Amino acid sequence: MNGIRRGLILLGLTVAVIIGASVPASATYSEAVAVKTTISTTTVAAPANVVGKLTCGRPATMSATWALSGSPRVSGYVVSVYFSDGFVQTAQLGPTATSWSQTIDPYYVTAYSIKYTLTTQTAYGWSKESAQSVAFQC
């Protein structure tokens, strides 16, 4: 008697599993969530009031002054000297620098004119270059 009962229970469970597996699943979701995202961007300001200068003599002196950039997290400045033959000379300066000067052989500033730019560099990898100065030549 126990054997027949167990057989019927096993048969009933097997049929239930087969029927349950053949019925397609159904689920609906009705929750909606609205999220407002805000992305704020900043702009990097080039140094202001860039003033280039060239003092002719032996040796000649190239120099520039500027006002600090108002951008956050300035990590430094790069002075670029553009020679009229296409050569570009650069100098890396610290975040609080407001002037730069360097001597140069008079031949190079007699044979070629030069222009200056200043580039603000930031700790987050952005930079901004100023407009070129007027041309100087001895």
Q: What is the pLDDT of residues 67-108, one digit of tens each?
A: 988 888 999 999 999 999 999 999 999 999 999 999 999 998
Q: What is the mean pLDDT of the chain?
A: 85
Residue 53 neighbours by CB under 8 Å, 6+ apart: 62, 63, 64, 65, 136
- For residue 93, what pLDDT is reported? 94
138: exposed, middle or buried (Cβ count in 10 Å: 0-12, 13-18, 19+): middle
Residues 55, 43 contacting (CB under 8 angstroms): no
- For residue 97, what pLDDT is reported? 93
pLDDT in tens, 27-64: 666 677 777 776 666 788 888 889 999 999 999 999 99
Classify domain 48-129 at the CATH superfamily level: Immunoglobulins (2.60.40.10)
Distance CA 57, CA 106 (A): 7
Tokens of 28: 């609906």
Element (H, E) at 99: strand 99-104
Residues 123, 93 contacting (CB under 8 angstroms): no
Residues 68, 96 contacting (CB under 8 angstroms): yes
Mean pLDDT of 115-133: 92
Distance CA 116, CA 127 (A): 16
Annotated domain spans of the chain: 48-129
